[in-house]
Structure 1
């Protein structure tokens, strides 16, 4: 194959990825997202590259950069993370990945931490494939949090505390897959399995193909996530 033919294949591949990334994007459910914007305890700002949820009282000086799952709108995670903001003073930056795919977004962690310059300690985390990308950024952060996700790279010697939060009814990042990937994490990684939670329970974007059936309410899920994140930095 000549250079011209190879170039055409590359262009076609790139176009295909771009088109695929824009089809079937799972949008934020309007009710939970509006509730966060109406909460007087939370300051919400859209900074282009990310949505910033900041405590209205100034917060604790700790923050979380959260990377969404593949083709899930950033705002879909705001309500489930809101308890950590309103109750515990955590600043949360929900990234808006290029092409709705955090795994293929090459931007450094500082792209998102710069949106909240008053925060002094940062965790990086993500849901599903967003968590896989978070693992790649772990050495630039003070902690790593996996939300229904696991690492594809070895972070055993990263030196950062790791928290893995999963769901018992997850049909995608199943309990078995979480357990199988434990060897990529430090020996002192903390594991929290939320009973009744499915893969889509970590956001508010509706059901997801291949997922299990959740038996936990949205309010209970938010409370359990808030509790799990309360001691984020170990």
Structure 2
């Protein structure tokens, strides 16, 4: 066997190993297995439907014809957001679609927004939102919607423990940013530092004692601050912030 062939085999083996390691990394997610994450399935005020591309949460009564496509944080199980977002559906009348990102990483999911809005054909006006890096991806979708590059108009952006990298200051939709005072990842300082990228009338809500993982229900996250809040209270405060924003 020639030296060149041995080198090609070695390179191919390294590439194959890197692919296997990356796939293992991407598929190791922070699971939504806490009791709070399962409670939404027993909530009579909402109807939950799971598909290959997303999870749809519909209010049983009081639907407004508005919807929220919500993108999970990196490597967080989409089901981890059921409890908090079922509260949003109840309080606001939103139909919520939680996406199931490609490889559990929002930036690898380049499917058009219509992939997810199609799951709720009865909705007329769409907001986009997300948690952590999912919120950064939501900012991209909002920017596309503002520029006409999106296949679906976007009327608003909702960020949970997140902030934008895209500049939406001049042409962006209405924005709500909900942050936690004890967030160790999307810290209040980072949220404030990126505020100039949002429209001047963007609304900012900081929840006292809330950490990064409080926006979902998936347990402790490395690098996060310590939460001092009851989960049910956090759910109510998030839902109230969103309801006030769209009201």
| Residue 108 of structure 1, CA deviation | 1.2
Q: CA deviation at 1:30?
A: 4.4
Secondary structure of the residue aligned to 2:123 is: coil
Structure 1 residue runs of 5 or longer lacking an equivalent are: none
* Residue 17 (1) aligns with residue 30 (2): no
Per-residue CA shift, 1:47-69, capped at 9, x if unaligned? 21000000112611111111000
Aligned length: 233
Q: What is the root-mean-square deviation of aligned Cα atoms in Å?
A: 2.2
1:94 is aligned to 2:98 = yes
Counterpart selection for 1:133 from 125, 132, 137: 137
Which residue does 2:63 correspond to in 1?
59
CA apart distance, 1:11: 5.7
How much does 1:35 deviate? Answer: 1.7
**1:107 match: secondary structure:** coil
1:228 paired to 2:232: no
Output the CA distance in 1 between the equivalents of 2:116 and 2:141. Answer: 12
**Contact map agreement 2:59 2:89 (CA 8 A) in 1:** yes
TM-score by length of 2: 0.87
Question: TM-score of the superposition, structure 1-length normalised?
Answer: 0.92
Q: Does 1:203 align with 2:207?
A: no
Counterparts of 2:51 and 2:132, CA distance in 1: 23
CA distance in 2, matches of 1:78, 1:136: 23
CA contact (8 A) 1:142 1:233 kept: no
Q: 1:188 to 1:14 in 2, by over 3 A?
A: farther
For residues 163-199 of structure 1, give each alpha carbon's deviation from its aligned partner in whole angstroms, at most 9, with x where no partner exists. Answer: 1110000000011111111121111111100111000
- 1:31 corresponds to which of 28, 35, 38: 35
Pick the structure with greater CA Rg.
Answer: 2
Distance 1:223 1:50 in 2: 24
Offset of residue 220 of structure 1: 0.8
Structure 2: gaps of 5 or more residues? 146-153
Change (3 A) 1:11 1:162: farther
Residues in 1 aligned to 2:137 and 2:35: alpha-carbon distance in whole angstroms = 29
